[in-house]
Amino acid sequence: MLSAPSQIPSVKRPSGSGSPAAPDLPLPIAEALTQLEALDPLGRLHWAHRTFPDGLVMTTSFGIQSAVLLHLAHQLMEREGLAPIPVFWVDTGYLPPETYHYAEQLRARLSIDLHVVQPELSPARMEALHGRLWESGRVEDLQLYNRLRKVEPLDRAFADLGVRCWASGVRGSQTDHRKGMPLLELVRGSWALRPLLSWTSRDVYYYMQDHDLPQHPLFEQGYSTVGDWHSSAPDSGEVSGRATRFGGLKQECGIHLPGLMGEGI
């Protein structure tokens, strides 16, 4: 039987503290980007482990394509004899049952050091205070939902553990905004590394086949991306990829954007 993943407490920043201080980067950002461009995704993770030995984590959604970065981290751990990189997972309380089962499957197979991040507000309390924010059809309500259930909980967890750099599976082909993202960028007080930024969906698919990685259960039902149950949909003849998310009103939840706590998104 699997042990329970670590629960990260919600810790508020001191009042009036403002934006968190940027962690030191031991080389100029331009030089860092040049080094990262020359490396493959596994090499980029290894670079981050050497550069931020005391403050590197990963994030995952346990979505359709999450297995790739998790597997790369597992390979790095085995090849270099390193301790597992802590993996942060934001559990909004609204994920499909299939995602929870998939998370357990990957956690067991890839020896993931999993830390579950949860919002301060329970789903019931949030709905009592703010309503079912995803049903209004208003972008500002979706922004509030994403800030309460995703962005703020993750930022608090990062601040609590002193995270200096976090690696994610963001890819440039996923959204218009992500096309312009750099490999390394300061995002709300921590350096965001995107090892898979240049990969296509085809690259991801064949990597999973080559390494016999299990697909998310909803992949066979036509989903190419999946988040919360109420804001995800399978691809159709007209809409696919991230355009299926949030009822088509927006493509980003705010976690990967530099605005403080998702402001201005």
CATH number of the CATH domain containing 117: 3.40.50.620
Going by C-alpha positions, the residue among 16, 8, 56 that lies closest to residue 160 is: 8
User: What's this model's pTM, rounded to 2 decimal places?
Assistant: 0.83
Inside any domain, residue 67: yes
The two three-digit tokens of residue 129, written as one number:
């205070």
Please tell me what DSSP assigns to residue 148.
I
Q: Is 28 exposed, middle or buried (0-12, 13-18, 19+ CB in 10 A)?
A: exposed
Annotated catalytic residues are 253
In a domain, 41, yes or no: yes
Does any domain span residue 172?
yes
The reply to whether 84 falls in a domain is: yes
Domain assignment of residue 1, yes or no = no
pLDDT of residue 233: 77
Residue 262 reports pLDDT greater than 60: no
Query: Which residue spans within 168-215 are E strands per DSSP?
Result: 184-187, 190-193
Structural domain includes residue 201: yes
Q: Give the pLDDT confidence of 183-198 residue by residue, as tens digits.
A: 999 988 899 999 999 8
Looking at the 3D structure of the chain, how many domains does it have?
1
In a domain, 123, yes or no: yes
What does residue 60 show for φ and ψ, rounded to 5 degrees?
A: -145, 155
Residue 261 above 50 pLDDT? no
User: DSSP assignment of 214-254, as one string?
Assistant: PPPGGGGGT-S---SGGG-----SS--GGGGGGGGT-S--S
pLDDT in tens, 24-81: 898 999 999 999 999 999 999 999 999 998 899 999 999 998 999 999 999 999 999 9
- Asked if the model's pLDDT at residue 238 lies above 80, the reply is no
Tell me which residue range forms the domain holding 196. 29-258
What's the average model confidence in pLDDT over 145-150?
A: 93
- Please report whether residue 265 resides in a domain: no
Q: Report the C-alpha gap between 165 and 70 in whole angstroms.
A: 16
